[in-house]
Structure formats: C-alpha cells, structure tokens
C-alpha cells in the first residue's frame, strides 16, 4: 500500500498541512486557517490504497469569519448575531471573502 495524495482545498479557509502524507488506513485532521474558526473534520486514506495519486476521502470543515473588532457603519451586534442599525434596512450577513493572500 502507499500513502494518499494530499487534499486540494476548495478555498483559502482550510488548513490541510496535517494531511500531506497520510498512510493507507490512517486519517488526519483538516482545520480552519487562522483567523477563521470552525470544527475540524477528518480525512482518511483507504485501507488498501495502491494508487500514489489516490485522493483522501474528506469533507472540508465549515469555517466562519472572525468577528469584526468594531461594528461597521450601518450594523449593530445583537444577542443573536448581526442586525442592521435602526436607520438602515435589509438583512445583515457576516461574510469575509479572502483577498489574493487568503486573508479576510
């Protein structure tokens, strides 16, 4: 048997550094890159893997944006999350698309 090929993350949020060379029958953890947060997920290499290019079986963790240090204009942090300030309307949503350097 041979190790599996490392996972190819779909975005900048996932830290796959713990899964670069996973032996057949072994698993590893995928975590969120800082400053994102979320629960780690497992990736596993099939027990009888004979393909050096064989991929790990994995699911990316759900990574969340870091909370802003101060509320942006038009927003207020409520008990259950972000809301629009009284003088604004719409649906508040915490998003943080990464830049070219994978930073929010």
Task: Please tell me the predicted confidence (pLDDT) of residue 22.
Answer: 95
pLDDT digit string (tens) for the chain, length 104 residues: 999 998 887 678 899 899 988 999 999 999 998 888 999 999 999 999 999 999 999 998 999 888 888 889 999 988 888 899 999 998 888 888 888 877 77
Residue 55: Cβ-neighbour burial (10 angstroms; 0-12, 13-18, 19+): middle
Per-residue exposure over 11-29, b if at least 16 CB sit within 10 Å of its own CB, e if not? ebbbbbeebeebebebebe
Q: What is the largest CA-CA distance in the chain?
A: 63
Mean pLDDT for the chain? 89
Q: pLDDT by residue (tens digit) across 60-82?
A: 899 988 888 888 999 998 888 88
- Do you find a cis peptide bond into 74, omega within 30 degrees of 0? no
Alpha-carbon gap, residue 73 to 52, rounded angstroms: 51
Task: Please tell me the predicted confidence (pLDDT) of residue 10.
Answer: 67
In this prediction the pTM is 0.75
Task: Please tell me the predicted confidence (pLDDT) of residue 2.
Answer: 95
């Amino acid at each position: 048997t041979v190790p599996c090929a490392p996972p190819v993350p779909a975005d900048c949020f996932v830290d796959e550094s713990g899964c670069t060379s996973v032996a057949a029958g072994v698993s590893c953890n995928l975590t969120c890159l800082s400053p994102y947060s979320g629960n780690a997920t497992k990736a596993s290499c099939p027990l009888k893997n004979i393909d050096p290019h064989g991929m790990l079986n994995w699911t990316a963790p759900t990574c969340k944006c870091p909370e802003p240090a101060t509320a942006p204009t038009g927003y207020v942090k409520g008990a259950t999350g972000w809301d629009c300030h009284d003088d604004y309307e719409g649906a508040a949503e915490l998003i943080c698309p990464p830049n070219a350097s994978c930073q929010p």
